[in-house]
Structure 1
Amino acid sequence: MELSAGDRPVSIAATVQQALARAGVVYEVRGHTATESLEEAARTCGVSFRRFVRAVLLKDAHGPLLVVLPLTYLIDFHALEGLLGRRPVPASADETVAAFPDCEPGTVPPLGAIYGIETLVDPSVYDSEDLCFEPGVHNVVVHIRRSGFRRLQAGARVAGCAQAASELQGGTAGGSGSELRVPEGLDLDSMVASFTPAPEVRRHIEELYELPPMPAVAQRILQLRADPAASAESLAEVVELDPSLSAQVVRYASSPFFSYRGKLESIRDAIVRVLGFDMVASMALGLAAGRAFRNPPDGPLGMRAFWRHSTYCAALVQTLAKAMPAGSRPRPGIAYLAGLLHNFGFLLMGHLFQPEFFLLNKLVAANPETPVTAIEKRVLCMGQARDVLCMGHPSIGAWLTHSWRLPDEVTVTVCEHHNEDYDGEHAAYPNLVLVANRLLRCHGIGDEIPEPPPEALLARLGLVPERTEEILEALMASGSSLDVIVRYLAA
């Protein structure tokens, strides 16, 4: 349905609009440029994070449960278990879309009752007189008084189930030597220890050793890469089995990176005229492999951030490789694939251990200057899943790439991309990824430490610092074409 926000008509989810009308509350609708997170929406609208209300969909044997809390708060799963007598876990992205069918993917209105969902509201929501929330679309914010929001929550239970995360100076996680900021009063050890019951851990470990199957299209592409007689025609036939995958490859080949002035009509054109067999095979393999997982969309480790980081890293690694001395350049297609899949461990982690990943995602957002490897060691080595998870996302990802028989260069990259001292077999690939990630961090992309690439590492690769900066700036200047690809991948 359409409402007026200033001079612009805006649309919000029909169910939300009907609830607002039935409740007879006073509210204001403000449109803005579409954003990918609630934090971005709040900044765009000039709204305090504390006043912005968010919702998280959980699930258990009793069905879905919506937890409503301020944007500056984290769910306290330990307290939640005490309230409910059971242990809900975060719902998947697909389950969330199904629960809110008239809402855009990635947005959850904090009004569970109107969708027939059991709802729990943390009392901190009502600390602010004026509140805001996203009404099922990414380009609108509803402003409403506290009394009006209470009326919309008729039937919801109000109980403490969250901990403040807006004032982060109150707590420090010890044990790792680094100051990990956690919400004041939050018992992080108890919270994580309560996440995963022992039987579930055993089941997850069994799944981990079996590992998810590689998608069928990715398997066929991998077979073609190993076939010396494979042709561009045979590769095109396999990629075209997935029309959206084919479209993404063509879109990338048409981007400014390759300066191709003609029009590409098909995947065959992309192979023959621009990218070549090896590059298209590697790109399609990486994109298809990533589709085996549907992790949460938001946060610094969510699917949107994952694909943005991976896509930019792959493009930058590919370009940096061309700047290396001719005799030591890695294969362009494999270099691209290594950049695209280097953080694959996060996908598997989120797939198998949703509650731990949920907390890790929030803590990474709260500690942007702390290396993600330090945070995951602190968080993931505490719960009952410690035997598997304490190795971190590089080792977990390497298990998966090795099991799927991806190229050895990719497995080495997944395992060693944070190790600036690695100089073993296939070192050029993880070294390039580390350089690319250090460069991208300057633009707020990725999870590397915010420091320049080590000079010794650049020298080992034969890269000149000034030239790497030029390559980075050229990439960022034409990043709009990469952003189009990212939106399709994260959808």
Structure 2
Amino acid sequence: MALRVIEVTADPKSSANDLMAIISPDVSLTTKILKIANSPFYGLTREISSLQHAVTVLGFKEIRNLVISTVAFDSFKNIKQGGRFDINKFWKHSFYCALAAKAIAVDLKIKSNELFVAGLVHDIGKLAMFITFPSEFMMQLEIMSPLKIKYTAFEGEKDVFGMTHDEVGMRLLKKWMFPESLINAVGYHHHPQEADNKSHFPIIVHVADILTHIHEMQEEDEEGEYTNTELFYGDAIELAQSFGIDWNLLDLSRLQQTLKENIKNEAETIKLFF
């Protein structure tokens, strides 16, 4: 269904009826789209009462983004808790990163909602690895568990799997024929310097991921060990400059605060996505 939605929304000859014909037979998906459309996430002043109304008000691309988000994660909804792999924490991290990516996009005055999706699916390769090789995945978590700085933990995947979750996610989204912008955001979110700097998606998701990890570490850190965020911000600022984004420490501190506020404001929305 997601593939058909992507095809229809990419075709300039398609109509709202073409899009609704694909989605409307799936009552569960239609209901979820309407719930999200009416949530504080969009902040609309009037109620969205039907799928047709949602398509009219939100537009083709936004409906596409909602379908991609929900279908991608519904594909993995039956994953059970697995030892050190806390699936609930995974969903929360994905949603927080999506909020961070959207906040950055708004700050840079570029279209934000597709970047929300990019943040939402950035770690989807981890789910594929966990499902396919659960023992090896848990082994990798055990190896990396002594590290308190979670953002570097992905490096241990190379030793166990021969590839990292961003590479797996990129291959998966290519197979699913996702838009190129989302494929690149997922595939290069740990090394945006290797991506084409004409697109801001990889660097935005990269920084969103850093902001999210900092937020999570600050929540868990009782001794204030990670309060000095300059350690994390320095590389992000340097990388962003290579993409033509002129950030400084104050900018990232401000975005960090925005993320914290958005997480609080969207506490109920996460339940609609997952």
Superposition TM-score, scaled by structure 2 size: 0.78
Label 1:296 to 1:367 Cα distance change in 2 as closer, same or farther (>3 A): farther
Matches within 5 A, 1:298-313: 301-313=85-97
Once the two structures are superposed, residues 35-73 of structure 1 have per-residue CA deviations (whole angstroms, 9 ceiling, x without a partner) of xxxxxxxxxxxxxxxxxxxxxxxxxxxxxxxxxxxxxxx
Q: Secondary structure in 2 aligned to 1:265?
A: coil
Task: State whether residues 314 and 340 of structure 1, in contact with CA within 8 Å, keep that contact through their aligned partners in structure 2.
Answer: yes
Which structure 2 residues correspond to residues 397-416 of structure 1 after superposition, within 5 A? 397-416=169-188
CA-CA distance at 1:430 after TM superposition: 0.8
1:355 maps to which of 107, 127, 135: 135
Identify the residue that residue 226 of structure 2 maps to in structure 1: none
Change (3 A) 1:230 1:363: farther
| 1:372 partner amino acid | A
Amino acid paired to 2:6: L
Say which of 142, 147, 166 aligns to 1:367: 147
Give the CA deviation at 1:425. Answer: 5.5
Q: 2:118 aligns with which of 329, 338, 347?
A: 338
Superposition map of 1:201-350 within 5 A: 217-273=1-57, 275-293=58-76, 294-297=78-81, 301-324=85-108, 329=110, 331-350=111-130
- Verify: 1:457 aligned to 2:239, yes or no: yes
Deviation at 1:333, TM superposition (A): 4.3
- Name the residue aligned to 1:376: 157
Report the CA distance between 1:434 and its aligned residue: 0.7
Change in 2 beyond 3 A, CA 1:222/1:398: same
CA shift for structure 1 position 349:
0.6
State the 1:428 CA deviation. 0.9
Q: Structure 1 pair 366/341, CA: closer, same or farther in 2 (3 Å)?
A: same
CA contact (8 A) 1:255 1:481 kept: no
Q: Is the 8 A contact 1:286 1:341 kept in 2?
A: yes
After superposition, the Cα gap between the structure-2 partners of 1:323 and 1:477, relative to the gap in structure 1 and judged at 3 Å, is: closer
Q: CA deviation at 1:357?
A: 1.8
Q: Report the alpha carbon displacement of residue 403 of structure 1 after superposing the two structures with TM.
A: 1.5
Query: Which digits, 9 at most, give the CA deviation of each residue in 1:341-397, with x for residues without a partner?
Result: 21121111112111112333455555332512222234x1xxxxxxxx211111112
Which residue identity does 1:291 align to in structure 2?
D
Contact 2:99/2:263, CA 8 A, preserved across alignment: no
Query: In the alignment, which residue of structure 2 is the partner of 1:440?
Result: 212
| Aligned AA (1:297) | Q
**Count of matched residue pairs:** 257
Q: In structure 2, the residue corresponding to 1:297 is in which secondary structure?
A: coil
Structure with larger Rg: 1
> Unaligned 5+ residue runs, structure 2?
218-228
What is the deviation of 1:289?
A: 2.1
- Return the alpha-carbon distance in structure 2 between the equivalents of residues 257 and 486 of structure 1: 10
Give, as a single letter, the amino acid of the residue that structure 2 aligns with 1:408.
E
Q: Which amino acid aligns with 1:313?
A: C
Hey, what's the Cα distance between the residues in 2 that align with 1:441 and 1:347? 18
Q: Residue 177 of structure 2 aligns to which amino acid in structure 1?
A: R
Give the TM-score of the pair, scaled to structure 1: 0.47
Q: Is the 8 A contact 2:36 2:272 kept in 1?
A: no
What is the Cα deviation at residue 247 of structure 1? 3.5
Give identity over the alignment, percent: 23
Cα distance in 1 for partners of 2:38, 2:265 equals 9
Cα distance between partner residues in 2 of 1:421 and 1:439: 18
Cα deviation for residue 301 of structure 1 reads 4.6
After superposition, give the CA deviation of every residue in 1:397-441 in whole Å (9 maximum; x if it has no partner): 211111221112222222210014235265411100011111111
Assess, with a 3 A threshold, how the Cα gap between structure 1 residues 225 and 269 changes in structure 2: closer, same or farther. same
CA RMSD of aligned residues (A): 3.0
Give the distance between the partners of 1:430 and 1:224, measured in 2 at CA. 25
Task: Name the aligned partner's letter for residue 429 of structure 1.
Answer: F
- The structure that is helix-richer by fraction is 2
Question: C-alpha displacement at 1:324, in angstroms?
Answer: 1.8
Which residue identity lines up with residue 342 of structure 1 in the other structure? H
The answer to whether the Cα contact below 8 Å between 1:377 and 1:390 also exists between their aligned partners in 2 is yes
